[in-house]
Chain A
Amino acid sequence: MTQTTDGALAVNEAAVTTRRRFDPARLLQDQGLIVVVLIFGLVLSLLSPTFLTPTNLMNLLLQASTLGVMALGMTFVIIGAGIDLSVGGIPAIVSVLAVGLVVRGELPVWFALVVAIGVGIVVGLANGFAITKLGIAPLIATLGTLSITIGLAFAYSGGTSIVPVPDFYNLLRRANMFGIPINIIILAVLAVVTHFVLTRTTFGRSLYAVGGNRQAAEMAGIRTNRVILFTYVISAVAASIAGILFTARLASGSPQTGIGIELTVIAAVVIGGTSLFGGRGNVLGTVLGAVLITMVTNAINLLGVPTAWDRVLLGVVIVIAALLDVFRLRIHERWMSRKAS
Chain B
Amino acid sequence: MEKEHQHKTPLKDFQSKCQEPVMSTKSLSIGYASGKRKTVLAENLDLCIESSAVICLLGQNGIGKSTLLRTLSKMQPPLDGDILLEGESIYSIARNELAKKIGLVLTERIPESNLTVYEMVALGRQPYTNWIGKMVEEDKELVRRALEGAQLEELADMRCDELSDGQLQRAMICRAVAQDTKLILLDEPTAHLDIQHKIETFQLLKKLAVELGRSILISTHEVQLATQMADVLWLMNAEGITSGSPEDLIREGRINELFDRNTIHFDKETRQFRFK
Do the two chains belong together in a single complex?
no
Chain A residues proximal to chain B, CB less than 8 Å: none
B positions within 8 Å CB-CB of A = none
